[in-house]
Amino acid sequence: MDEERVQLAFAALAQPTRLKAFRALVAAHPGGMAAGEISDVCEVPHNTMSTHLNVLTRAGLISVERNGRVMNYRADLRTLRGLIRFLATDCCSGRPEMCGDLARLIPEEVDDITERKMTPAFNVLFLCTQNSARSIIAESLLEKIGGGRFNAYSAGSHPAAQPMPEVIERLKTLGHDVSRLRSKSWDEFTGPNAPRMDFVIALCDTLDGQICPDFGDKMLTAAWPLPDPAKFTGSSTERVTLLNELYAMVRRRLEAFTNLPFATLDKMALKARLDEIGDTQRVLS
């Protein structure tokens, strides 16, 4: 942690209300608190608290995400650990273990990795009828480009025995790990132990009129219709070209999806953006 960031963080904490708010968020970690709750704890008006929270956010001490109309705040323990490390690393001529219990407070670098792993990821389920091509491609791509912020799944209403061999071969050629890919029923994602989905995205028109299972009451749905590789004709070279074009379509949509400002969009706005991404003319242009 560089000295400029350290100074910014300590300047943010050198005010009683902000210090109290930050301590409350540290106590609530790994959970968060709504702005109103923090205002009540600190016994200050909401508009005043908003100013203090903005200062803490700019200093990197807290993060914020929107849940509908509510702004939820969470302490960033990486910054806190960085402050402790900055203050204590040179203690006792670089031997902080001589300072007794202080050594326990100096985190190892691995803690930063652990903290990143605690950040919740979105669960995304891609659907198509047979779960043999389009949804398989989307699952593979999101796992690769999602940066750890998304858990990708795929399923079908009437799954094939296995994914299309030429799709698997194309994904391998493009550098994807295909060892776990398989065609499966969407029923696998309806049980009490199944992961609860944040997004369910249909990639074919044939799901229209079918009743989707219950994947959770908080999910957002979207339709991103894409060409069916099972209907591709021509020589093997022509089919590979079509698969490459399909792959590029899926990638463009997923790059737009992963770059959405999730923390600042309410549910209605996020749904609108998902529908925009699924617009065929935009993708094919």
For the chain, the structural domain boundaries read: 3-118, 122-284
- Average pLDDT rounded to a whole number, residues 115-125: 64
pLDDT at 67 over 80: no
Q: Are the CB atoms for 18 and 10 separated by under 8 Å?
A: no
The per-residue pLDDT for 114 is 40
151 backbone φψ class: left, alpha, beta (φ>0; ψ -120 to 50): beta
Mean pLDDT of the chain: 82
The whole-number average pLDDT for the span 158-163 is 94
Q: 10 Å Cβ neighbour count for 149?
A: 12
Max mean pLDDT among 94-98, 179-183, 187-191, 214-218 falls in 179-183
Would you place residue 252 in the very low, low, confident or very high pLDDT band (cuts 50, 70, 90)? very high
Rounded Cα distance, 6 and 27, in Å: 21
Do the Cβ atoms of 8 and 59 come closer than 8 Å? yes
Question: Once rounded to an integer, what is the mean pLDDT over residues 219-247?
Answer: 91
What residues have CB less than 8 Å from 137, skipping those under 6 apart? 167, 171, 246, 247, 250
DSSP 3-state of 154: strand
Phi, psi dihedrals of residue 6, rounded to the nearest 5°: -60, -45
Spatial CA neighbour of 32 closest among 74, 71, 60, 70: 74
pLDDT of residue 242: 93
Percent over 70 (pLDDT), the chain: 80
The whole-number pLDDT of residue 277 equals 93
Its CATH class, for the domain covering 122-284, is alpha beta
**Per CATH, which fold does 3-118 belong to?**
Arc Repressor Mutant, subunit A (1.10.10)
